Chains A and B, each alone.
Chain A
Amino acid sequence: MTDERKMEDTEMDHILSRKDEIVPSSGFAVSVMEAVRQEAAAPPPIAFPWKRALPGLLLAGLAIIAVIVGGTAVFIQASRAVSAANMPVAPAPLVVTGSQNGPVMWTGLAVLIAFVSFKFSMRLAGGRG
């Protein structure tokens, strides 16, 4: 480190170390304590209702798994159909033709999930089924 740089560093330390302090306003501590007392008086935050939410979360998880598994199965089935027909067609349109009952089944499942989720949320919100 050169002498010039050392002098600059010393100068920088001198300037930035110089006391540049402010005094908290007279009511600061009182104001903090007021906020602390309000905090202490406030009711504790409501805990997340895990017991009530757990069935719903499990159901949602199962539904997601079912959709993934079902989707994969349909995709594989469609791919096989394409291979069998030896046609270079994208699998998406064949999903529909893969099974005649497929769309009906999925629609029914979607309606069922929507109904269950509606009833469950009504029960959570109003405390009645």
Chain B
Amino acid sequence: MSASDDQAAVERVLAGDISAFEEIVRRWQGPLVNLAYRFCRDRGRSEEMAQEAFLRAYRGLAKWRKEAAFSTWLFALATNFYRSELRRIPAHTVSIDDVREPVDPRASDGGLEDHDRDRAVRRAVSTLPDKYREAMILFYFHEMDVPAAARSLGLPEGTFKARLFRGREMLRGKIPQLLAVPRLKEA
């Protein structure tokens, strides 16, 4: 399904063919659920949030101006909703102090496994203040595409880059050992 397919489906929905919306749902369910998951780290809640995002998209289809790709509009709408939802009911986060760390993270015989380290870094991201956390989530969700991530957040690229930079700085300060350690399996 391409961008033109999205547009065709939207036009059919607007003409009254509700079933055409299913094409949109099937096409974008994976990205929308995963984006929600990156915000809340809860599978059940991410599906609920994605469903509500689709409903909002359905209600607001006529507002899509077609200047940007449908996906850009959809991600911006979903991101906006996820952010407000997470502010309303914050995700359960673990304090960075609770993240298990090795006694000597450089030790090759007993450090964190990659999986544990990844989880610790992701948890550290979840403890960042909202605006930095959101910038980091969107940056990696969009595979490090700054313009796409900035559009999803509705921010100028410069502002987005500044938030990303600050977020990375804060993250670096929270988990210096985890980032400095060479990956154990490769060591």
Give residues 94-126 of B contacting A (CB, 8 Å).
117-118, 121-122, 125
Q: How far is the CB of A11 from chain B (nearest CB, A)?
A: 5
Question: CB-nearest residue of chain A relative to B55?
Answer: A35
User: Interface of A with B (CB < 8 Å)?
Assistant: 4-5, 7-9, 11-13, 15-18, 20-25, 28-29, 31-33, 35-37, 39-40
Would you call the interface of chain B mostly helix, strand, loop, or mixed? helix
Complex-state Cα separation, A35 to B33, whole angstroms: 16
Q: How far is the CB of B182 from chain A (nearest CB, A)?
A: 9
User: Interface of B with A (CB < 8 Å)?
Assistant: 18-19, 21-22, 25-26, 29-30, 33-34, 37-38, 43, 46-47, 50-51, 54-55, 58-59, 117-118, 121-122, 125, 136, 140, 143-144, 168, 171-172, 179-180, 183
- A residues near B19, Cβ cutoff 8 Å: 33
Nearest 10 Cβ contacts at the A-B interface:
A8-B179, A24-B33, A16-B140, A24-B29, A15-B121, A29-B25, A32-B54, A32-B25, A11-B179, A36-B58
Q: How far is the CB of A14 from chain B (nearest CB, A)?
A: 8
